[in-house]
């Protein structure tokens, strides 16, 4: 049996008494026997952001792409990969922003956002909630008749809206029924 384990066996066989344990450790150190190395303490985890913080981070990440990327229906970025900054449609852009902000969900389609995230009453909507719109009430999964974006307040969304406009900030589609869901 290696010498560096003798002290551990003695401690293990003794009744647990903190004063006795400290005395035995001091004796082991003073005896010249090797002391088992102590592992570095693990860094404390970074506290998870509160919901408004995560949502605000998603907004700030998305605003960095304001005006830069064209819209592409069925785009891969935010759907197939997150290591990208182009090739978005509306839902993959929202998914990408929240993913890079630290959200744990992955819902790259408008219908998934509408049906799997918790709904928010209109009088409880806050900046960073996700607005899901559709030509027809409840048809949130329609490929060509649904749209989504991140609510900024004051009647504006951060969204990847069209082939002409790409990513930007403007009001939602007028007249379309909508719901709000909370992604953070």
Tell me the domains of the chain and their CATH numbers: 1-37 (no CATH), 51-181 (3.90.1720.10)
R_g of the chain computed on alpha carbons: 27
Instruction: Please tell me the pTM assigned to this model.
Output: 0.69
pLDDT computed for residue 55 by the predictor: 93
User: CA-CA distances (angstroms) from residue 152 to 14, 29, 96, 120, 166?
Assistant: 63, 62, 17, 15, 17
- For the stretch 146-183, pLDDT in tens is 888 999 999 999 999 876 778 999 998 888 888 888 88
- For the stretch 8-58, pLDDT in tens is 334 444 455 555 555 555 555 555 555 455 454 454 443 344 588 999 999
Strands 146-153 and 156-162: antiparallel
Residues 6+ apart with CB under 8 A from 29: 35
Tell me the average pLDDT of the chain. 76
pLDDT > 80? residue 126 = yes
């Amino acid at each position: 049996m290696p010498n560096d384990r003798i002290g551990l066996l003695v401690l293990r066989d003794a009744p647990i008494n903190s004063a006795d344990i400290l005395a035995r450790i001091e004796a082991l150190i003073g005896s010249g026997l090797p002391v088992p190395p102590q592992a570095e303490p693990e860094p404390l985890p970074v506290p998870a952001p509160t919901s408004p913080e995560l949502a605000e981070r998603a907004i700030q990440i998305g605003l960095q792409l304001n005006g830069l990327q064209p819209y592409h229906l069925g785009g891969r970025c935010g759907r197939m990969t997150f290591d990208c900054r182009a090739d978005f449609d509306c839902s993959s852009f929202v998914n990408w922003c929240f993913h890079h902000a630290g959200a744990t969900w992955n819902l790259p389609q408008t219908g998934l956002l509408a049906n799997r995230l918790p709904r928010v009453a209109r009088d409880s909507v806050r900046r960073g909630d996700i607005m899901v719109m559709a030509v027809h009430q409840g048809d949130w999964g329609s490929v060509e008749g649904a749209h989504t974006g991140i609510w900024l307040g004051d009647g504006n969304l951060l969204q990847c809206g069209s082939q002409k406009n790409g990513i930007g900030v403007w009001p939602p589609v007028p007249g379309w029924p909508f719901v709000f869901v909370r992604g953070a």
